């Protein structure tokens, strides 16, 4: 069974705090790891698609790292703002036997002003 685990399940921080979340995934047959941000009443929106061990990607105050050998990725948010409040999903692209994204259950972030 392919499992993608995310932690923590939820997080409440103050505006200006920096924070990070973890995504763990199967380290065998790795192809790609995706991060999405999902705000209430909106579509999930892609943040990063990472494919190489050691990848580091950045978009504004948000960055992510990837370790395919040990099967984990970190998402960092620097100086959190209330508009960062959302659910952050990671997903593992599976290509053995079938083609699909396998999602974690997400980290719900609430940033208090």
Long-range contacts of 65-69 (CB under 8 A, 24+ apart): 66/33, 68/27, 68/30, 68/33, 69/27
Mapped onto helix, strand or coil, the DSSP state of residue 84 is: helix
**SS3 of residue 48 by DSSP:** strand
Residues found near another protein in the complex (CB under 8 A): 4, 31-32, 34, 36, 41-44, 46, 49, 51, 89, 91, 93, 95, 98-106
Q: Provide the minimum distance between the beta carbon of 8 and another protein in the complex, in angstroms, as a whole number.
A: 14
The owner of tokens 């685990």 is 5
- Please identify, using beta-carbon distances, which residue of 100 and 112 lies nearer to another protein: 100
Measured from the CB of residue 89, what is the shortest distance to another protein in angstroms? 7
- Considering beta carbons, is residue 71 or 80 the nearer one to another protein? 71
CA distance 44 to 39: 7
Which of 80, 106 has the CB closer to another protein? 106
Shortest separation between residue 51's beta carbon and another protein, angstroms: 6
């Amino acid at each position: 069974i392919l499992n993608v685990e995310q932690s923590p399940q939820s997080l409440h921080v103050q505006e200006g705090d920096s924070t990070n979340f973890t995504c763990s995934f199967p380290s065998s047959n790795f192809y790609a790891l995706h991060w999405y941000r999902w705000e209430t009443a909106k579509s999930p929106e892609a943040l990063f698609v990472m494919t190489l061990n050691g990848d580091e990607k950045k978009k504004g105050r948000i960055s992510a790292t990837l370790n395919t050998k040990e099967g984990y990725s970190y998402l960092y948010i620097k100086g959190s703002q209330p508009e960062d409040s959302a659910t952050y999903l990671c997903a593992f692209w599976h290509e053995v036997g079938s083609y699909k994204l396998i999602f974690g259950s997400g980290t719900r972030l609430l940033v208090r002003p």
